Amino acid sequence: MHEPYSEGNCSRCHGSHTTGQKQQLVSRPLELCAECHPGKMEDHPERGHPMGEITGASAAGEEGASVLLCTDCHDAHTSERPHLLTVSGCLDCHPK
């Protein structure tokens, strides 16, 4: 389990008042994860996955706007899998 969650330190990632972010996060998701996991976007085991946040026209479903957030594959609250993964492998998202 993710250390801040297991320690009951919700405020490490979530604000108690309006933050302007989904799930009351204290900053944008990729920035928040990078605070404790620096370099993971550049040196991630799944290097072929484009990391980023969909904004503007891309958020409306623009072709080629397939980027990932950390939370697309990792769950800081409930995952019991190694590395807090929510998927069991590549085929979960990339079926044959």
pLDDT, position 54: 59
pTM of the model: 0.72
Whether the predicted pLDDT of 40 surpasses 70: yes
Whether the predicted pLDDT of 82 surpasses 90: no
pLDDT tens for 68-81 read: 888 888 888 888 88
pLDDT, position 26: 93
Q: What is the 3-state secondary structure (H, E, C) of 32-50?
A: HHHHHCCCCCCCCCCCCCC
Average pLDDT, rounded, for the chain? 80
pLDDT, position 58: 47
CA gap 88, 5 in Å, rounded: 22
CA gap 51, 89 in Å, rounded: 18
pLDDT tens for 20-34 read: 888 899 998 888 998
Share of the chain above pLDDT 70, in %: 85
For the chain, the structural domain boundaries read 1-96
